[in-house]
């Protein structure tokens, strides 16, 4: 029987079944077909990332016929519109970079697939496709044909059950059983008991110990062998190679000892080694699962949604308090937080956050509307179908479209060390072995194994993600919600902070408003109230709360021009409100205060004057920040409050007024061209372009739903005065990472020096290895908590 391997899947080929094609060997027609598909579609690079990365495609005749049923498919879909369907499929075979590459190029294999995105830790692929060109059954058939059969279960979709993999726990149990019993049987050997019956059964007891070691050696340690073998096949050297080598050397050495009656061998040490290393692996697995926990929507979205009570009262509620059957009011530019049914006559919804397509979709009353869409135009009412889906909203925020290209310094350090760690370790073990073999064979084997076991980059690899995970958690608890861990390093690099004025350094809640002009009658107030009702601008929200409550009436036409104003047409009148330029009215007021001008049916009526209330702690915050950062205030308002701000803020603060949204974006772009690392703090509506352009964009949340996926973080307005703390904390987080790098390297140097000199036994090395991980995790947790406690 020939032992050659299949070029596609890596399985051994039986000579009679071998298929030769394109000078390559395949184990079956299925593997050959997949290779042909990839070659014809210019996807041969699939085989460049890892040797034999594929799986043998399975025959699925009739298995997925249930996907013809539209009701079933609609249950599985995350998003469903005329030309766009989105689904996430769990694919157990995802295991390497080749898998990611081919699954993110599905559009080359199947017309109709727009994009596909892999979530490697969860083994899921999110597919965006056009239902007019392909369907879910065809996509699943394609995945099966290339060896990536998805796991589809309606029960798990409905109930959210997760299959728990307990393999590691079973392996630990087997290793512990073997370790404990071998220790028990080895007691006479330990104490060199020479009783007659012990001598009589010594050979039998040694072979019994050998038999008991096999389950631990073959089953419990199997993960190390598989991982090491895959790494060698891929032409890479991972940390599992020295561990697997150490275990195999101990097993062979101990077996030789028993066969030639040299002694009892080291089966107890080997089983203890496997047990303690698996225990360390379990701890690491628990740590990673704690880090990769999906922070729920309570953490990610501290935004208020307007809920309509049965009596018509409008109340702001947190997004996570929304329940099935609730009526919601969605204003212009507001994100739809949940799936629901449209109650209003019609709506125009922009799904570009979800699909990447910026063309608004028209909806009529009774249509289903999906979370992630942005309402354009007049205010609409909707009824909630499901409570908020955390995974959907977090996925929306983490979409690749909104990710900024950043270089992570700590990651490059980890990658460099990891690349050279294993070859250097194996080299050191061999040199030490050759040195000791001429002095003591026993010591030589102990030194060789101890070196391979004690040195571990696991603690090094764990230090950055665990520190960042802990920092994200602490920041979240203090109401700054960051998109991901990368933002922490970006925050630490910031040297320039740009603040918006209205709704950012001013508060929405304490502003006093006065009216100058012709008094408004009830009819005019009704037009004004129903126009403001549809807008999400901070000034609109404040004015809407200021004027008397009006009976709701839907405008025939509603248009809001960001940075200028609003125009609305009703069946009994037309209204315009906004800046004096928008109304083409020359203001006679010389005091230059923040104003909203009003025009009804072509007649100028007057203006509402806002006496801005600046946020509590603003002066102290700017004083602290000015010592380390260049500070800029960018405002869309006139410079009427320049003197007040010059008096309140540090002398080196730059004040820039009359900036339209696009001018703010260009201003930040120019700062970046000068080599500045810019953080923008603003509201998600008017400043979305500037937030996206900046190195770090922080959106202030204060009882309005102006969330933009382009921002990197959301800060609860009540924590505004703590911005200096968050900036300092991010720097301390990076300091913690570098300190723990040093600690991890120090551990490896000390451990190796003991191992090389023959002063460390393999079993002690196996105990120390997981302890190093626990030490690093404890160190970064303690230090990040200490820094969090500092004022």
pLDDT in tens, 138-192: 999 888 887 788 887 654 444 444 456 688 889 999 999 998 898 888 776 655 5
- The first and second tokens of residue 124, run together, are 């899921």
pLDDT at 661 over 70: yes
Q: What is the mean pLDDT of residues 134-140?
A: 91
Q: What is the mean pLDDT of residues 195-211?
A: 76
What SS3 state is found at 689? Answer: helix
Residue 759, phi-psi category: left (phi > 0), alpha (psi -120 to 50), beta (remainder): alpha
CA–CA gap between residue 566 and residue 39 (Å, rounded): 56
- The first and second tokens of residue 125, run together, are 């692929």
In whole angstroms, what separates CA 71 from the centre of its chain? 31
- Higher local confidence (pLDDT), 290 or 783: 783
- The first and second tokens of residue 707, run together, are 């969330």
- The first and second tokens of residue 195, run together, are 């009783």
Q: What is the mean pLDDT of residues 572-596?
A: 77
Residue 376's pLDDT band, with cuts at 50, 70 and 90, is confident
Contacting residues for 661 by C-beta, under 8 A, at least 6 apart: 562, 563, 636, 686, 687, 688, 689, 690
Longest dimension (CA), the chain: 117
What is the spatial order of strands in the sheet that 79-80 belongs to?
A: 79-80, 85-90, 124-129, 113-119
Residue 234's pLDDT band, with cuts at 50, 70 and 90, is low
pLDDT at 416 over 70: no
CA–CA gap between residue 235 and residue 560 (Å, rounded): 59
pLDDT at 272: 81
Q: What is the mean pLDDT of residues 699-712?
A: 68
Contacting residues for 136 by C-beta, under 8 A, at least 6 apart: 67, 73, 76, 77, 85, 87
CB atoms within 10 A of CB 505: 23
Place of tokens 């500070």: 631
Q: What are phi and psi of 128, to 5 degrees?
A: -110, 120
Instruction: Give Cα separations from 18 to 44, 233, 302, 759 (angstroms).
Output: 21, 21, 60, 53
Q: What is the mean pLDDT of residues 295-303?
A: 48
pLDDT at 50: 59
Number of H helices, E strands in the chain: 27, 28
pLDDT at 769 over 90: no
Query: What 3 state SS string does 606-633 have?
Result: EEEEEECCECCCHHHHHHHHCCCCEEEE
Query: Are residues 639 and 652 in contact, defined by beta-carbon separation less than 8 angstroms?
Result: no
pLDDT at 778 over 50: yes
* Mean pLDDT (the chain, rounded): 79
In DSSP notation, 183-196 reads HHHHHHHHTT---H
In whole angstroms, what separates CA 386 from the centre of its chain? 23
Please classify residue 371 by burial: count the beta carbons closer than 10 Å to its beta carbon, then call 0-12 exposed, 13-18 middle and 19+ buried.
buried
Instruction: Give Cα separations from 325 to 158, 190, 335, 338, 366 (angstroms).
Output: 19, 72, 19, 11, 14
102-123 per-position pLDDT tens digit: 788 888 888 999 888 887 767 8
Residue 567's pLDDT band, with cuts at 50, 70 and 90, is very high
Alpha-helical (H) ranges within 660-722 are: 661-673, 688-693
pLDDT at 281 over 90: no
pLDDT at 495: 93
pLDDT at 176: 93
Beta bridge partners of 568: 558, 575
CB atoms within 10 A of CB 216: 27
Sort strands 314-318 and 304-308 into parallel, antiparallel or unpaired: antiparallel
pLDDT at 785 over 60: yes
What SS3 state is found at 656? Answer: strand
pLDDT at 178: 92
Query: Are residues 780 and 466 in contact, defined by beta-carbon separation less than 8 angstroms?
Result: yes
Least confident of 206-210, 464-468, 647-651: 464-468
- Higher local confidence (pLDDT), 328 or 13: 328
427-483 per-position pLDDT tens digit: 888 999 899 988 888 788 888 888 877 776 666 666 777 787 788 888 888 888 887
- Higher local confidence (pLDDT), 542 or 297: 542
pLDDT at 631: 94
Give the closest residue to 505 by CA, choosing from 726, 724, 721.
721
pLDDT at 589 over 60: no
pLDDT at 289 over 50: yes
CA–CA gap between residue 246 and residue 179 (Å, rounded): 17
Contacting residues for 462 by C-beta, under 8 A, at least 6 apart: 284, 287, 288, 773, 776, 777
CA–CA gap between residue 150 and residue 152 (Å, rounded): 6
Q: Which residues of 299-312 are buried (b: 16+ CB within 10 A; e: fewer)?
A: bbbbbbbbbbeeee
pLDDT at 624: 92
- The first and second tokens of residue 443, run together, are 């010591």
pLDDT at 407 over 80: no
- Higher local confidence (pLDDT), 720 or 265: 720
Place of tokens 């000390």: 750
Query: Are residues 740 and 733 in contact, defined by beta-carbon separation less than 8 angstroms?
Result: no
Give the closest residue to 382 by CA, choosing from 351, 350, 337.
337
Does the CA dihedral 687-688-691-693 come out positive or negative?
negative
Q: Where are the beta strands (DSSP E) in 201-352?
A: 304-308, 314-318, 327-330, 340-342, 346-350
Query: Taking the model in full, what pTM does it have?
Result: 0.65
CA atoms within 13 A on the CB side of 138: 14
CA–CA gap between residue 417 and residue 44 (Å, rounded): 31
Least confident of 136-145, 368-377, 760-769: 760-769
Q: What is the 8-class DSSP label of residue 219?
A: I
pLDDT at 12: 75
CA–CA gap between residue 508 and residue 654 (Å, rounded): 23
Give the closest residue to 538 by CA, choosing from 686, 709, 697.
686
What SS3 state is found at 534? Answer: coil
pLDDT at 193 over 50: yes
pLDDT at 219 over 90: yes
Give the closest residue to 404 by CA, choosing from 709, 730, 714, 737.
709
- Higher local confidence (pLDDT), 698 or 269: 698
pLDDT at 788: 83
Q: What is the mean pLDDT of residues 563-586?
A: 86
Residue 353's pLDDT band, with cuts at 50, 70 and 90, is low
CA–CA gap between residue 575 and residue 528 (Å, rounded): 7
Q: What is the mean pLDDT of residues 313-340?
A: 83
- Higher local confidence (pLDDT), 119 or 565: 565
Least confident of 135-149, 352-366, 483-497, 733-747: 352-366
Query: What 3 state SS string does 706-762 have?
Result: CCCCCCCEEEEHHHHHHHHHHHHHHHHHHHHHHHHHHHHHHHHHHHHHHHHCCCCCH
- The first and second tokens of residue 559, run together, are 């248009």
Sort strands 594-600 and 603-611 into parallel, antiparallel or unpaired: antiparallel
């Amino acid at each position: 029987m020939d032992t050659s391997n299949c070029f596609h899947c890596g399985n051994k080929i039986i000579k009679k079944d071998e298929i030769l094609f394109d000078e390559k060997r395949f184990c079956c027609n299925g593997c050959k077909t997949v290779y042909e598909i990839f070659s014809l579609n210019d996807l041969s690079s699939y085989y460049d990332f890892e040797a034999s990365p594929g799986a043998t495609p399975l025959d699925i005749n009739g298995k997925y016929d249930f996907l013809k049923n539209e009701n079933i498919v609609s249950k599985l879909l995350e998003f469903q519109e005329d030309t766009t369907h989105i689904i996430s499929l769990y694919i157990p075979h995802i295991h390497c970079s080749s898998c990611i590459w081919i699954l993110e190029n599905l559009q080359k294999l199947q017309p109709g697939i727009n994009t596909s995105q892999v979530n490697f830790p969860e083994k899921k692929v999110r597919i965006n496709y056009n239902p007019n060109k392909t369907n879910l059954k065809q996509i699943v058939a394609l995945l099966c044909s290339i060896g990536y059969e998805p796991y589809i279960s309606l029960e798990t979709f409905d109930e959210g059950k997760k299959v728990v993999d307990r393999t590691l726990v079973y392996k630990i149990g087997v290793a512990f059983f073997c370790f404990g019993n071998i220790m028990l049987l080895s007691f006479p050997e330990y104490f060199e008991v020479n009783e007659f019956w012990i001598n009589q059964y010594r050979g039998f007891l040694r072979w019994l110990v050998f038999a008991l070691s096999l389950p631990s050696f073959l089953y419990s340690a199997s993960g190390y062998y598989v991982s090491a073998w895959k790494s060698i096949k891929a032409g890479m050297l991972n940390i599992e190679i020295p561990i697997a080598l150490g275990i195999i050397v101990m097993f062979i050495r101990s077996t030789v000892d028993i066969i030639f009656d040299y002694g009892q061998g080291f089966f107890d040490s080997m089983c203890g080694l496997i047990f303690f290393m698996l225990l360390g692996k379990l701890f690491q697995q628990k740590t990673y699962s704690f880090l990769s926990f999906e922070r729920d929507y309570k953490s990610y979205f501290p935004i208020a949604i307007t809920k309509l009570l049965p009596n018509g009262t409008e109340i702001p509620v947190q997004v996570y308090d929304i329940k099935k059957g609730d009526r919601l009011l969605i204003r212009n530019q507001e994100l739809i937080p949940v799936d629901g049914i449209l109650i209003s006559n019609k709506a125009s919804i922009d799904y570009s956050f979800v699909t990447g397509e910026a063309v608004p979709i028209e909806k009529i009353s009774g249509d289903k509307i999906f979370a992630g869409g942005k309402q354009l135009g007049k205010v609409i009412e909707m009824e909630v179908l499901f409570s908020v889906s955390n995974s959907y909203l977090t996925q929306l925020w983490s979409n690749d479209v909104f990710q900024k290209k950043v270089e992570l310094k700590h990651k490059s350090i980890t990658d460099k060390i990891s690349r050279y760690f294993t070859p250097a370790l194996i080299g050191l073990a061999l040199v030490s072995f050759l040195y000791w073999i001429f002095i003591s064979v026993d010591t030589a084997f102990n030194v060789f194994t101890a070196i391979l076991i004690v040195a571990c980059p696991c603690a090094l690899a764990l230090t950055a993600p665990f520190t960042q995970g802990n920092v994200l958690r602490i920041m979240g608890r203090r109401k700054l919600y960051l998109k991901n861990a990368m933002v922490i390093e970006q925050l630490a690099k910031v040297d320039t902070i740009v603040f918006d004025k209205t709704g950012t350094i001013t508060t929405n809640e304490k502003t006093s408003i006065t009216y100058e002009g012709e008094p408004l009658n009830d009819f005019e107030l009704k037009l004004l109230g129903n126009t403001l009702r549809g807008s999400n601008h901070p000034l609109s929200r404040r004015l809407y709360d200021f004027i008397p409550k009006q009976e709701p009436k839907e405008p025939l036409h509603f248009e809001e021009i960001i940075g200028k104003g609003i125009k609305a047409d009703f069946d009994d009148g037309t209204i315009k409100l906004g800046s004096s330029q928008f109304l083409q009215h020359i203001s006679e007021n010389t005091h230059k205060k923040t104003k909203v001008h009003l025009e009804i049916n072509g007649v100028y009526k007057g203006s509402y004057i806002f006496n801005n209330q600046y946020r509590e702690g603003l002066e102290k915050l700017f004083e602290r920040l000015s010592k380390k950062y260049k500070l800029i205030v960018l405002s869309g308002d006139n410079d009427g409050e320049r003197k007040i701000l010059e008096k309140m803020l540090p002398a080196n603060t730059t004040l820039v007024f009359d900036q339209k949204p696009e001018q703010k974006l260009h201003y930040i772009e120019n700062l970046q061209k000068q080599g500045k690392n810019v953080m923008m703090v603003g509201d998600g509506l008017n400043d979305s372009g500037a937030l996206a352009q900046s190195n770090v964009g922080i959106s202030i949340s204060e009882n309005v739903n102006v969330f933009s996926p382009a921002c990197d973080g959301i800060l609860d307005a009540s924590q505004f005065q703590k911005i200096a703390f968050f900036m300092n904390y991010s720097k301390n987080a990076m300091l913690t990472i570098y300190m723990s790098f040093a600690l991890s390297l120090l551990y490896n140097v000390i451990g190796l020096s003991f191992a090389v000199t023959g002063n460390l036994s393999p079993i002690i090395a196996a105990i120390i290895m997981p302890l190093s991980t626990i030490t690093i995790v404890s160190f970064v947790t303690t230090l990040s908590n200490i820094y969090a406690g500092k004022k």
